[in-house]
Amino acid sequence: MSTAAPDPVRPTIRDVARIAGVSIKTVSRVINDQQYVSADKRERVREVMREIGFQPSQAARALAGHRSHQIALICDNPNPWYVYEIQLGVRERCQRDKIRMIAQPYDRASPTLLEDIVALLDQAHPDGLVLAPPACDDARVLGELARRGIPFVRLQPGVRIDEAPAVLIDNERAAFDMTTHLLDLGHRRIGFVVGDRSFAASAQRLAGYIRALGEHAVAVDLDLIRQGQFDVASGEAAADVLLSLPQPPTAIFASSDDMAAGVLAAAHRRGVRVPDALSVAGFDDGPTATIVWPALTTVRQPVRALADAATDLLLAPPEDGAPTQRRLAHEVVTRASSAAPPVAQTTE
């Protein structure tokens, strides 16, 4: 059969998939002698492997039956609850298949980040990886995994979503729904605290806030948009700026519950009553949402279920042609921190 020369000097699983005209998942199934591959595709993949001399060490281990029976979770987030929920979701799904989970801290600011992940791959030989934000959007990490032909699933990716298996919620829609809730209450000056720029979800939630304002004919006021870092301190600092404006907002939507807790702290310190003079909303619906006072109106994202679904997609991948993206539902949860503004406002 006629084949094109592989791009790299050493053939990869991507070369086999490209030349054979099949998906990387199909090649992986052939390598591991799994089902769900037709006889003609199986033979075509094997022929390409022979022709281009494809023998990566990962494939050799799999063909010899030496799977590690463990997967790695790469995760970094300033919110300990969020990290715990992801770890719990991955671990619970792994336990059902008697698979071990390795949790690898991910310091996106580390100069040796890629080297650390490569060391994990070389030393632990995981059968696959779950990539949580922001690792799920790191081109260096994605490129290395693709080069090695190691299966991975992206949890809450923000860019190039269709390029690899992924599980996510619609962050843009979730922020749109929360902003719409505040608009429906009568608010027109709504402050917004953006999350850490390293996370794609931050830009998505900002986009949802802006779209909701536009659909309600409310002009976007850049003075009402402040940068945060997904932590309490940055939420408090953003609220101090917003509440010091000549015309302060009557509602502040922070794109994480921790930042919303900081907004509440700033309001309480200034004697601004919530929700009588200021409505506050967050995003996550973790423990913070119900231990602060008043309890937070927030967007509930099912973090543990997302992690479970991502692990399931890794351990039980769909057949060729089946969707490799799963979207889970979010929910706007209304509590005591939001109410109608003190004075009816008119659209500017």
Q: Are residues 48 and 104 in the same domain?
A: no
Query: Which long-range contacts (C-beta less than 8 Å, at least 24 apart) are formed by 181-185?
Result: 181/281, 181/297, 181/332, 181/334, 181/338, 182/251, 182/253, 182/279, 182/281, 182/338, 183/212, 183/213, 183/216, 183/218, 185/251, 185/279, 185/338, 185/339, 185/340, 185/341
Q: Are residues 164 and 219 in the same domain?
A: no
Phi, psi angle pair for 52, to nearest 5°: -100, 0
Tens of pLDDT along 280-316?
A: 999 999 999 999 999 999 999 999 999 999 999 998 8
Q: Are residues 142 and 156 in the same domain?
A: yes
What the block records as the tokens of 184 is 């429906």
Q: Are residues 123 and 110 in the same domain?
A: yes
CA atoms in the 13 A half-sphere facing the CB of 11: 19
CB 338 within 8 A of CB 274: no
Q: Are residues 95 and 212 in the same domain?
A: no
Tens of pLDDT along 138-192?
A: 888 888 888 888 899 999 998 888 888 999 999 999 999 999 999 999 999 999 9
More confident residue, 63 or 287: 287
Q: Is residue 139 part of a domain?
A: yes
CATH at residue 27 = 1.10.260.40
Q: Measured over all CA atoms, what is the biggest interatomic distance in the chain, rounded to whole angstroms?
A: 78
* The total number of structural domains that make up the chain: 3
CATH at residue 180 = 3.40.50.2300
Q: Are residues 112 and 91 in the same domain?
A: yes
Q: Are residues 52 and 137 in the same domain?
A: no
Q: Are residues 138 and 149 in the same domain?
A: yes
pTM for the predicted model, two decimal places:
0.77
What is the rounded CA–CA span in Å between residue 195 and residue 238? Answer: 11
Q: Are residues 45 and 80 in the same domain?
A: no
Give the range of the structural domain holding residue 21, as residue numbers without chain letter: 13-63
